[in-house]
Amino acid sequence: MDGVGVEAKMVKKVALLMGGLSVEREVSLSSGKACANALREIGHEVIEIDVDKDIAAKLKSIEPDVVFNALHGRFGEDGTIQGLLEILEIPYTHSGVLSSALAMDKHQSKIMFKANGIPVADHIIANRAEIATKHIMTPPYVIKPVCEGSSVGIFLVKEEQDHPVQEILSADWRGGEELMVERFVPGRELTCAVMGNVALGVIEITTDLHFYNYAAKYEKQGSEHIIPAQLSQKVYEKVQQLSLKAHKALGCKGVTRADFRFNDYANNDGDLICLEINTQPGMTQTSLVPEIAAHAGHDFVETVAWILEDASCNR
């Protein structure tokens, strides 16, 4: 983030994409409002767009200089909107088509991580009907949609739980037919942001809930963030190294955030597992990336300004 100040380098017409069609719509609206305010503070013309299926026509009508992508989840974070922006030849923020698609697909990203020496938890991909019928992995394990974020649709199956999760069979289920069943890694929740190929600080997240779920992420006092995470220097630096390695393994751009579980009782060095990488991390008042950036000396406006200046096509 060297050389980026709080003043806009050049006033731009910014189309800020937010809301959208995914289950993370409300979080995206919060991220979008915060980023729009920050960009206006440094002089940019910002047009907020609640994304719908007519987004291509809207962008053609507006003719923005650049798109700030504040969408989360499907269609905004999975390479879909990125492909459209490439076709329209409008510079945009965050990661490109392929890296976004890979990161959104937890199964494919874990294949890439494993190939690059990044430790991941064992998992099985199975149909939700099968998962609801029997334990296809010895508990404890975690059930999660393959292509969702913000801990939406995640269930922890405890060791003493006799019956599989039935909620995934509900009529309003939006997590897809194929789900991931993943070995539960006990221990501490850690996360680290990467900006411009530089790994920033590491946060430890604590919560009174069973795990860091949607409520813990977005409700007031749902979790506590400890920065810098109280880890040995060796483990702290390893989290940073693996975060940068994951960022590069998928070819990510701009800002990302990698999430980890750390079981410091497993052995002398502990059991450090990479859960996933987020290419469109939240930018709300309780979001982790702004907090990590602030700890590194970059306030919210400066961070948003940097993300915008990093925008391009062919990402």
Distance CA 6, CA 39 (A): 9
Question: Does residue 315 have a pLDDT over 50?
Answer: yes
Mean pLDDT across 159-163 = 85
| Whole-angstrom distance, CA of residue 199 vs CA of residue 179 | 31
Quote the pLDDT of residue 216. Answer: 47
Q: Would strands 178-183 and 123-127 be described as parallel, antiparallel, or unpaired?
A: antiparallel
Predicted local confidence at residue 195, as pLDDT: 96
pLDDT of residue 4: 47
Determine the Cα–Cα distance for residues 12 and 62; give it in Å rounded to an integer. 12
The correct answer on CATH 3.30.565.10 for the domain covering 13-94 is: no
Question: Residue 147's pLDDT is what?
Answer: 86
- pLDDT tens profile 109-145: 999 999 999 999 999 999 999 999 999 999 999 999 9
Which residues belong to the active site?
Answer: 24, 150, 218, 257, 259, 276, 278, 282
**Candidate from 24-28, 109-113, 256-260, 261-265 with smallest mean pLDDT:** 261-265
pLDDT at 116: 97
Lowest mean pLDDT among 40-49, 215-224, 241-250: 215-224
Q: Does domain 103-119+186-295 have CATH number 3.30.470.20?
A: yes
Answer whether 101's CB lies under 8 Å from 248's CB: no
Q: What is the torsion angle, in degrees rounded to the nearest 10, for the CA atoms of residue 51, residue 35, residue 43 and residue 91?
A: -50
Q: What is the pLDDT of residue 213?
A: 46
Element (H, E) at 21: none
Provide the CB-side half-sphere exposure for 105 (13 A, CA). Answer: 16
Within 10 A of 134 (CB to CB), how many other CB atoms are there?
8
